[in-house]
Amino acid sequence: MDPEDGGNGGPEADQDEQESATPQQRRSSELDSVNVYGLMEDINDKLKILNYEHTFCKGREFKPLSKTYFALESKASEQFPYFLALVSWLLKQMEVDFMEWNEFDDPNNIAEGIMKQLKELGFTARFPVINLRHGNGDSVCLALNFLLDQTLRYKNFKVATPVYGNSGYAEEAAVDEQAEIDEEDDDIDEDVVEDDEDNLYMANEYSPKEEVGEEDIKDTEILESKVDPKEWNLELERVGPKLKFKPSNTNKEWRTHIDQSRRHEKMISEQFPDCKVALNKIKKELGSAIDRINQKERQINKDFDHLGGEFRDNQKRLDQVQEEYDGLSKSVAELTQQLAAKTDSVDIIKSQMSDRNQSLTDHSPLGKIKAALIELRSEVAAMELRIGVVGQTLLQSKMKVHVRDVHNKSATTTY
């Protein structure tokens, strides 16, 4: 039997192992295989494709994400609201109809609502819903990466094939490995090498701008440095000796490598036959041991097959109960919102009733009316007194006039 086939016990054994594993083991194995730092880099790239710095961060208190923001644990009070805002923004980008969350909702209900929306969009990764409450980790990165993929797919975003332009550099010359090494080339004067290295750092080495093209001028303008040449030369004098190439003691190092390779080949050819016999023996022993393990494994799977069936049935019932629980949680959230609205309306009615009761039991207007009546009566009495005085004065004046007329008339008749 081939050890490679027996090592895993065949596809049937793999399937039995996956079925016999607990849900926590399956979830932990899925999360352990996630490269959270790679996921976070993908999330940053996809968010930049969506231009989130202007469409999401602008107008909000959130800053652009770092490369390890959701990958490392920092502050859950800051990471979870950021994650919640990103999820809401991405769902709105896809025009998904969902119940928005606020800061006063229960974090557990928010996490369950997010997981429900993810499952409706086709999210297949399995992990505890409570992991989303932390606002960091592989679960959060998986959820964000899935939502970003769905958003880009919704916006019909496609990655085009990269176009590589001509870099403008000369092609490297082919190396002739068969050419003989000239002994004179190995005796290069070290002074010349040092002069060449020093010349690499000399300022104003580029050709004048009048003798090159516009593109070369742009390149040289980009490469121009604003460092003082004197400081640069001082730094060169300090670091230059450490950067110089130190040739090896022998000028024929490649020949030494060839001799070492030949000695190693001879040693391997001498020791390999004995090792091969020992390895074949180990192979046979491992094959027989793997056969026994496979037989025992099949026997165990056969004996405990009914337990596996019960577990699968219980898992199905658990999924059904979980769906019912999610539906009831959603209805409870809706009823809670309705109750809050009704409570606000009742408070408004209570305030109106209290205002009316106060207005009905308030005697201050009646007291004001009584005071006004008393003052009016006093004014009427004063007015009547004045009218009497004026009438009496008028009557006296009329009597005087009448008496005067009578006296004048009697005087006239006498005369």
CB of 62 within 8 A of CB of 82? yes
Say how many C-beta atoms besides its own lie within 10 A of residue 128's C-beta: 14
Q: Which residues contact 102 (CB under 8 A, 6 or more apart)?
A: none
pTM: 0.36
Does 97 lie in the same domain as 64? yes
Residue 171 domain flag: no
User: Mind listing the pLDDT tens digit for each residue in 202-240?
Assistant: 444 444 444 445 555 555 555 666 778 888 888 888 888
CB of 93 within 8 A of CB of 147? no
Residue 237 domain flag: yes
pLDDT for 383 equals: 94
Distance CA 79, CA 253 (A): 57
Residue type, 75: K
User: Mind listing the pLDDT tens digit for each residue in 24-41?
Assistant: 444 444 555 678 888 888
User: Mind listing the pLDDT tens digit for each residue in 57-114?
Assistant: 877 778 888 888 888 888 777 888 888 888 888 888 888 877 777 767 778 888 888 8
Does 390 lie in the same domain as 330? no
Q: Quick check: 47 pLDDT over 80?
A: yes
User: Mind listing the pLDDT tens digit for each residue in 339-384?
Assistant: 999 999 999 999 999 888 887 777 788 888 999 999 999 999 999 9
Does 126 lie in the same domain as 48? yes
Sign of the CA dihedral with 116 first, then 117, 121, and 126 last: negative
Residue 377's domain spans which residues? 368-415
Does 79 lie in the same domain as 124? yes
Does 410 lie in the same domain as 349? no
> Number of structural domains, the chain?
4
Does 98 lie in the same domain as 66? yes
Does 310 lie in the same domain as 231? no
Sign of the CA dihedral with 243 first, then 245, 248, and 249 last: negative
User: Mind listing the pLDDT tens digit for each residue in 119-139?
Assistant: 888 888 888 888 888 888 888
Mean pLDDT calculated for residue range 308-334: 92
Tell me the three state secondary structure of residue 204: coil
Distance CA 83, CA 141 (A): 10
Q: Which residue has the higher pLDDT, 406 or 21?
A: 406
> What percent of the chain has a predicted confidence (pLDDT) above 90?
20
Does 39 lie in the same domain as 104? yes
pLDDT for 330 equals: 93
Mean pLDDT calculated for residue range 257-262: 87
Distance CA 234, CA 12 (A): 72
CB of 49 within 8 A of CB of 83? no
Q: From residue 149, give the alpha-carbon distance in Å to each of 146, 156, 207, 221.
A: 5, 10, 50, 41
| End position of a domain, from candidates 336, 360, 384 | 360
Q: From residue 218, give the alpha-carbon distance in Å to each of 68, 213, 214, 224.
A: 36, 9, 6, 10
Q: Which residue has the higher pLDDT, 192 or 275?
A: 275
Q: Which residue has the higher pLDDT, 117 or 219?
A: 117
Greatest CA separation for the chain: 192
